[in-house]
Amino acid sequence: MTQEIKMIFVKKYWLVLIILLSAYANSFSQNKKVDSVYKRLQVEKIDTSIIKSHIYLCYTFNKLELFDSAYFHGQLANTLSVAKKYDKGYINSLRRIGDLFFDRSEFDSSIYYHKKALLKVNDKTNVVYFDLVNILGNSYFYIGDYINAYDYFSRYLQQAEISGNDKQKAKGNSNVGVILKEQKKYDEALLYFNKTIQIGISINDFKTLFVGYSNKGNIYNEKAKLKNNKYLNQLAIDNYIKAQQVISKIEDGDYRNPIMLYANMGNVYADLNQYDKAIEYFGEAIMLVKENEFFPQAALIYNNLTGIYLDLNDLKMAEKYLKEANDYSIKSQSSDDLAQSYQNYARYYELKGDFANAFKSYKLYKSYNDSTFNTENTERLKELQLKIEFEKKESIKQAEQDKKDAVAQEEKNKQRIVILAISIVLFLVVILAFFIFNGLKKQRLANKIISEQKEEVHKQKSIIEEHQKEMVDSINYAKKIQYALLAQEDLLKKNLLSYFILFNPKDIVSGDFYWAAEHNEKFYLACCDSTGHGVPGAFMSLLNMGFLSEAIKEKNIEHPHEIFNYVRLRLINSISSEEQKDGMDGIIICIDKKTNEITYAAANNEPILISNNQVIELPKDKMPVGKGERMESFSLRSITTAPGDVLYLYTDGFADQFGGPKGKKFKYKPLNELLMSFSNHSLEKQKEGLDANFTSWKGNLEQVDDVCIMGIRF
């Protein structure tokens, strides 16, 4: 296909992509558009199914970590629920908004929205009541407010005992046990954790067993510290091992469970002076914290790891973790974390001989340690305990009395029903004939209305199906447009000795693309990842390919770094007027046919050269082709190759794919090692091997991004 024909082809169907992109963008409007959307809906019928859809979108976007989109749909659902006076939608929309902030560790906002939702819940037997009370208890616990945490956890357990639900009773016992542990009431806490384990065994629930065993291990660990008893240390390890055995059977994928388990195992091995094992488990915990961006327990883990290196008198390693521990302690605003952090600082300065700073740090430690659990808090917790026990007994008494009253009322109702039934029968005998006649008349009218409604439903269904078909057909046509603009096989074969391309879009159309051009005795090849995937990504890829072609064919720009500079300028002038940062990451190489010199420019993605059985990660510029924090010129670099060397260009889709036995990312280092293992095979077999490895790693999980890998043998 010539360049002129391609341009006509693109112009003819450019409108298709603009319409698709507009439809997609409207779904992700910012929060300021809620009022305008609501005004539009005021002229339409507000149906509860619309509200439920927005709540579901809020939940889904939260799982995809798209906070702004999730918050928009949650607030819209809440606004519509208020207008509709739909209490269930009002409660669930507030729950989902609160969940957004809880997952981001913004617990103050989480508490605000969950409390608002709880105020509207009247039925304490409803699962929504239990969920809200539990998450409020956890939110207060994570910010170190044990008074309020204990209040909500005890309310949860009290209602669970009344309802008789085993899983709820197990969770309630566990939560109360945790608060008692923070009060250092270890024997009382053990009673609650033993109840949790007994329930877990009776219902064969692995998550309940994990919670019971891990918390029981924590108790023995704390008691061992107080009594310096190795036997108690071993009991802690035994319970942690039991927790570790069941954690692999839990299917909810909650990364917080293994984080705390590994941290606790690190603690107990540190107490036994088995520092290698302790450091190993703390390292596992830190890796999970960073990987999942879950920071509430980061301060505790870093503080404990710092303590180990101080015990080992390794001041260099201790200093490495001290600041991390203190930063996370300040963020957590937990008196416990801050006290331990400043205690570590005091030890560090003392070991260095800096007694002035050691004294300052010790005073800070003392102030936070004294505020962690003072006498007033302890008395307040005792009052709450007594109050909750009293309320629990009163609730049970009231439930029994309500049952008796209900039986008596039922007897009275039966008598009334008998009298009323006799009266109704006599009345019906008199008017039966009238109803039969009138009923037949209404039946004929109803049949007519039903027939018309069925016809209308069938008509609307046909319209919807036609619209859906048009949408899918449009996207498939967009795919044809995109594939027509990708590097063609005849052009690649003409200019490359041997190559392969693994191109696996996430959706029908792709944000990733591979592109080639031939101009003035030079051959250009690009492997790029546009912002987004699906329809928006495809739109960006067409824009990026157009600007690449414009730079080379129309502006006669020869060097790869200047080509990227030009494309960046065109993107900023075209689409970045409202502070958007759309663009692409990618690599473009230039092969001079006269001199065989190879030059390249790389934006965020780095080329990989395998030469003499070694993996060489070639340099890159850490900035995108588009508006970013860095805006300096891209660097021009060269590649020196020998016969048999293989050059790989790839985007981030393969490395970022979740999968494997633990549902983790594949990552770049294993990808480069995989390429190394394949490098001596034929390029066709390399492509097959990469494709098979990707499919196997992904398993049943959803593909998260477009995948594009190119291999070139010299």
Residue pair 655/617 in contact (Cβ under 8 Å)? The answer is no
Residue 498 phi, psi dihedral angles, 5° rounding: -155, 140
State the Cα–Cα distance between residues 646 and 611, nearest whole angstrom.
7
| pLDDT of residue 348 exceeding 80 | yes
Question: Pick from 32, 35, 26, 74: which is nearest to 53 by CA?
Answer: 74
Pick the CATH number of 486-713 from 3.40.50.300, 3.40.50.1980, 3.40.50.1110, 3.60.40.10: 3.60.40.10
| pLDDT of residue 380 exceeding 60 | no
Per CATH, the homologous superfamily of domain 254-373 is Tetratricopeptide repeat domain (1.25.40.10)
pLDDT mean over 386-404: 57
Residues 6+ apart with CB under 8 A from 623: 603, 604, 629, 630, 631, 632, 634
Q: What is the mean pLDDT of the chain?
A: 82
- Predicted local confidence at residue 3, as pLDDT: 45
DSSP 8-state secondary structure symbol assigned to residue 551: I
- Predicted local confidence at residue 563, as pLDDT: 96
Least confident of 13-17, 111-115, 188-192: 13-17
pTM of the full predicted structure? 0.41
| C-alpha count within 13 angstroms, C-beta hemisphere, residue 242 | 21
State the Cα–Cα distance between residues 343 and 358, nearest whole angstrom.
9
Residue pair 599/641 in contact (Cβ under 8 Å)? The answer is no
| pLDDT of residue 18 exceeding 70 | no
Confidence band for 37, pLDDT divided at 50, 70 and 90: very low
Confidence band for 11, pLDDT divided at 50, 70 and 90: very low
Confidence band for 648, pLDDT divided at 50, 70 and 90: very high
Q: Where are the domains of the chain?
A: 254-373, 486-713
State the Cα–Cα distance between residues 151 and 277, nearest whole angstrom.
37
Strands 512-519 and 522-530, how do they pair? antiparallel
Torsion, Cα of 16, 19, 21, 24 (10° steps): -130
DSSP helix/strand/coil, 629 = coil
How many Å separate Cα 304 from the centre of its chain?
Answer: 27
pLDDT mean over 172-182: 87
Residues above pLDDT 90, as percent of the chain: 39
pLDDT mean over 620-630: 92
DSSP 8-state secondary structure symbol assigned to residue 552: I
Least confident of 42-46, 545-549, 653-657: 42-46
Least confident of 165-174, 396-405, 640-649: 396-405
DSSP 8-state secondary structure symbol assigned to residue 553: I
- Predicted local confidence at residue 636, as pLDDT: 96
- Predicted local confidence at residue 461, as pLDDT: 76
* One-letter identity of residue 53: S
| pLDDT of residue 578 exceeding 60 | no
How many Å separate Cα 398 from the centre of its chain?
Answer: 44
Confidence band for 430, pLDDT divided at 50, 70 and 90: low
| pLDDT of residue 101 exceeding 60 | yes
- Predicted local confidence at residue 694, as pLDDT: 95
pLDDT mean over 350-361: 84
Confidence band for 16, pLDDT divided at 50, 70 and 90: very low
* Cα-based distances in Å from 585 to 4, 29, 511, 553, 659: 28, 25, 11, 22, 24
DSSP 8-state secondary structure symbol assigned to residue 625: E
| pLDDT of residue 297 exceeding 90 | no
| pLDDT of residue 547 exceeding 90 | yes
| pLDDT of residue 620 exceeding 90 | yes
- Predicted local confidence at residue 385, as pLDDT: 54
Residues 6+ apart with CB under 8 A from 31: 68, 71, 72, 75
The 10s digit of each residue's pLDDT in 224-280 is: 888 888 888 889 889 988 988 888 787 766 667 788 888 888 888 888 888 888 888
Confidence band for 406, pLDDT divided at 50, 70 and 90: low
* Element (DSSP H or E) covering residue 302: helix 298-311
Structure tokens at 117: 């939702």
DSSP helix/strand/coil, 534 = helix
| pLDDT of residue 415 exceeding 80 | no
- Predicted local confidence at residue 611, as pLDDT: 93
| pLDDT of residue 577 exceeding 80 | no
Report the residue count for the chain: 714
DSSP helix/strand/coil, 644 = coil
Confidence band for 401, pLDDT divided at 50, 70 and 90: low
- Predicted local confidence at residue 670, as pLDDT: 95
Same fold across 254-373 and 486-713: no
Question: Between residues 14 and 401, which one has the greater pLDDT?
Answer: 401
* Element (DSSP H or E) covering residue 592: strand 583-592
Confidence band for 15, pLDDT divided at 50, 70 and 90: very low
Confidence band for 643, pLDDT divided at 50, 70 and 90: very high
Least confident of 158-172, 583-597, 673-687: 158-172
| pLDDT of residue 208 exceeding 60 | yes
Structure tokens at 257: 């469970």
If DSSP states are collapsed to H, E and C, what string results for 658-693?
EECCCCEECCHHHHHHHHHHHCCCCHHHHHHHHHHH
Residue pair 264/238 in contact (Cβ under 8 Å)? The answer is no
| pLDDT of residue 448 exceeding 90 | no
Least confident of 14-28, 182-196, 356-370, 424-438: 14-28
Burial 301-338 (b: 16+ CB within 10 A, else e): bbbbbbbbbbeeeeeeebeebbebbbebbeebebbbbb
Confidence band for 4, pLDDT divided at 50, 70 and 90: very low
Residues above pLDDT 70, as percent of the chain: 83
* Element (DSSP H or E) covering residue 142: helix 127-142
pLDDT mean over 594-604: 95
pLDDT mean over 511-532: 94
The 10s digit of each residue's pLDDT in 50-94 is: 999 899 999 999 988 899 989 999 999 999 999 989 999 999 999
Cα-Cα end-to-end distance for the chain:
28
- Predicted local confidence at residue 536, as pLDDT: 85
State the Cα–Cα distance between residues 633 and 598, nearest whole angstrom.
19
pLDDT mean over 520-529: 95
Kindly report the number of other CB atoms within 10 A of residue 240's CB atom.
Answer: 25
DSSP 8-state secondary structure symbol assigned to residue 550: I
DSSP helix/strand/coil, 40 = helix
Question: Between residues 126 and 589, which one has the greater pLDDT?
Answer: 589
Kindly report the number of other CB atoms within 10 A of residue 275's CB atom.
Answer: 16
- Predicted local confidence at residue 8, as pLDDT: 34
